[in-house]
Structure 1
C-alpha cells in the first residue's frame, strides 16, 4: 500500500502549512484572532476560501474539489499545529459532510457556493444535556404540522453555533428518546422565529453556543436526508469528523513535543541543559513514540473514514480515536511535567496545547466510549 502523498496533496500541505504558520507563528496573533466578533479572524477565513480549502469536501459536480479524508487530514494537522480557531471542522468537515452526503440537489445548489466562498459557516447542533456521546439519544422534538414541522428543545456546546449561518439540528420525529429510528436532521436558519442562541468561549479557546428551540416552524424543504432515518447519516459524518480530529490531535502533539524538546535544550540546571539528563531524554523519546503511533492510527482512520461498510468503518475509526486519545493524554501530561510551572501559564503555548488535546480527547467520545465500540464489533483492544 502506497502511503506517499501525491503531488497535489504535497502542494496542499505546503500551502496550508505556510498559511497557518504565518497566521499563528506568533502566539499573540492567536489572541488577536480570538478577539474577533466571531472568535476567529474573518480575513484568515477568507484566505481559507481563496486557497480552496472550503471546497475540498464537495464533489466536482457541485463546484468542489473532490478531496477526500486524506486531504482533510493534511488541513487538520496544520490546524492542530497552529492551534487555529477558524470553524473548519464545523463548516467544511461536519457541515460539508452533511450537505455532500445527505443534502438534496436544491440544498447543495443553494448552500455549497456560499460555503466555498467563505460567506456561510455551518454548525452541528446535536449534543443535549442527557445524551453524552450517544448520537441516538435525542429528546428535541419535531412534531408534524401540516406539510412541515415544529421543533422544540435545547442543544448544548454547539461548536461555532453562535455565529453559524445555518444549523444542522437533530430532532426526534418518532419513537422514544433513545430509539435508533425516528431521528430526522434539519437545516435551520438561526434567524427563524423561536431560535435563541447564547454563545460563549470554551476552555480551549474555541467558541460554542447553547441553542434553544421554542416552537420553531420548518418546511419539508428544510429536512436534510430522510425523515425518521437520520441516524446513519449522522454516524457516517461523525466518523469522518473523528478521523479529522485524530489528525488535528497529531498536529498538536507534534508542535507540543517540539516545544518541549526546545525547552529541554534551553533550560539549565546544575550548569547544564536539562535535556542532557538521560531520564528526561527517555521521556521525550516516549513522547515521540506516542505521537508516531497516533500518526499511524490517524492515517488509518482517514483511509477508513468513508468505507462503505458502516460496521467496519465504525470499528476502525473507534480504534483510531481510542489510540489517539491515549497518545494525546500521554504527550500532554509529559509536556506539562517536563516544562514545569511555565507550561501552565496563559502566556505560554504549552498549556493551550494541553487544553486543546484534552478537549479533543473527549470530543465525540472519550477513550472508554470508543473501546466499547471496538469491543462491540469483536475487535480485541486491551483496556488499561
Structure 2
C-alpha cells in the first residue's frame, strides 16, 4: 500500500491548513462555537469556494474527490482547526443522496457542494444506543401520503438546516435492518419541531420531533423499506471523517504539549529533559501513529466489500476512541493545572477528542461490532 498522498491531495491539504490557520484561529473559532447560530454562514461559503465540500464528492456528483483519502485529508484539516461548520452531516447526507437518490434529488447535490443548502441527518434516537438498525420513528401510508411520527436526538445544526434526512420504520421489528425507509423532510413542514441547544464541544444541535408529518413519494430517498444499506454507507463515510478529524486534533494537541515541555522550566531546566516525561511523550507519539494507521486502513477499505469496509471502519473508530481519550488525558496532565483552563486551546482539543468517541458509536460499541462482523 502506498501511504503517500497524491500531489493533488497534498496541495488540497496545504491549502486547507493554510486557510484554517490564517482565517480560523482559535479566537475566531471560539466566537463562532459560542454564537447563537453555532457556525458561520460566511465561512461556510468560503469553505465551499475553496473546494472543501467538493472534495468530499466524486466528479459524477459534481465534486472532484469523493474517495476515502479525500475525505480523510479534508477532515484531518478540519480537526486541526476544531472547525464547527456542518461538514459531517453534509458528507453523510450527500453520500446517501448520491447512492440512492432519483435524478431530481441528485440534482440537489449542487446546493450541498456550493454551500447554499443545508440538510441535517436525523437518525439517532434517545434509546438507540448507537445501534444503526434500531429505528422506532414510524412512517405509515395514509391515502396518497406517508404520515411520519417520532423523535430524533442530537441532530447537528437542526435549527439551521433547511431539511432533514430522516430514517423511519415502515415495517418490521424496531431493530430489524429490513423495513428502514429514508425521507427528505423539509424543516418547515407542518408537524416538524426542533428544540436547539449548545453542544459541550462547540456548535449547536437539536432534538427534532415529527408529529403526523405528511410526506409525498417525492420525499422518499430510494425504495421504501430498503434504506439500511444506504444509511450504513453514509454513516460509514461519517465514521471515517470523525476518525480523520481526531487525528488532526491529536497532532495539534501533541505539538502544543511538545512545545510546552521544551519551554516550561523547573529547577532551571526544561521539564522535557526529565526522562519520565520523555517516556510518556514517546508512548503518546506511538499511539497517535497507530491511530493514523487505522485511519489509513479505513480510508483504503471505504470502497471495498461491505464486511471488509465495516470492520476497518469499526477498528478505526475503536482505536480513535481509546487513543483520543489517552491523548486528551496525557496532554492535559503534562501541561499541569494550566491544561484545564478555558483560555488554553488545548482544553478544547481534549474536549473534542473525548466527544468524537461518542459520535456515531463509542469504542465499546465498535469493538463489539468489529467482533460480530468477523463471525460467520
* Aligned partner of residue 319 in structure 2, secondary structure: helix
Match of 1:3 in 2: 3
Instruction: Report if the CA contact (8 A) 1:59-1:100 is conserved.
Output: no
1:172-216 CA-partner distances (Å, limit 9, x unpaired) = 101121122111010011011110011111111121111011111
Q: Relative contact order, CA 8 A, sep 6+: which one is greater?
A: 2
Instruction: Please report the TM-score for the alignment, with normalisation by the length of structure 2.
Output: 0.96
Which residue of 2 is the match for residue 382 of structure 1?
A: none
**Residues 312-323 of structure 1 aligned to structure 2 (within 5 Å):** 312-323=308-319
* Cα shift at 1:121: 1.4
Q: Secondary structure at the match of 1:226?
A: coil
Within the candidate set 322, 326, 331, 1:330 is matched to 326
1:156 to 141, 153, 158: 153
What runs of 5+ residues in structure 1 fail to find an aligned partner? 380-384
SS in 2 for 1:177: coil
Match of 2:99 in 1: 101
CA deviations 1:136-178 (Å, max 9, x no partner) are 1111110112232110111110112221112100011011211
Partner of 1:228: 225
Q: Do 1:329 and 1:358's aligned partners in 2 also have CA atoms closer than 8 Å?
A: yes
Residues 148 and 59 (structure 1 numbering): CA distance in 2 closer, same or farther, change over 3 Å? farther
Contact 1:240 1:306 in 2 (8 A): no
Q: Which moved more, 1:354-363 or 1:368-377?
A: 368-377
SS of residue in 2 equivalent to 1:372: helix
Task: Report the alpha carbon displacement of residue 322 of structure 1 after superposing the two structures with TM.
Answer: 1.1
Aligned match of 1:118: 115
Contact 1:244 1:302 in 2 (8 A): no
Please list every run of 5 or more consecutive structure 2 residues that lacks an aligned counterpart in the other structure: none
Question: For residues 282 and 298 of structure 2, what CA distance do their matches in structure 1 show?
Answer: 24
CA distance in 2, matches of 1:36, 1:364: 25
The yes-or-no answer on 1:83 pairing with 2:79 is no
**For residues 6 and 55 of structure 1, what CA distance do their matches in structure 2 show?**
17
For the residue of structure 1 that corresponds to 2:332, the secondary structure is helix
Q: Are 1:364 and 2:360 an aligned pair?
A: yes
2:125 to 116, 125, 128: 128
Distance in 2, matches of 1:230 and 1:305, equals 19
| Partner secondary structure for residue 127 of structure 1 | coil
Distance (whole Å) between structure 1 residues aligned to residue 61 and residue 132 of structure 2: 28
**2:303 alignment partner in structure 1:** 306
Give the 3-state SS of the residue equivalent to 2:56 in structure 1.
coil
Task: Measure, in 2, the Cα distance between the counterparts of 1:10 and 1:327.
Answer: 25
Runs of 4+, deviation exceeding 4 Å: none
Distance in 1, Cα, partners of 2:31 & 2:319: 34
- Any idea what the Cα deviations from partners look like across 1:19-54, whole Å, max 9, x if unmatched? 1111233x2111222244421122211111111222
Measured in 1, the distance between the counterparts of 2:374 and 2:133 equals 21
Aligned to 1:251: 248
Contact 2:294 2:319 in 1 (8 A): yes
1:45 counterpart = 2:44 = yes
Aligned length: 375
**Distance in 2 of aligned mates of 1:135 and 1:145:** 27
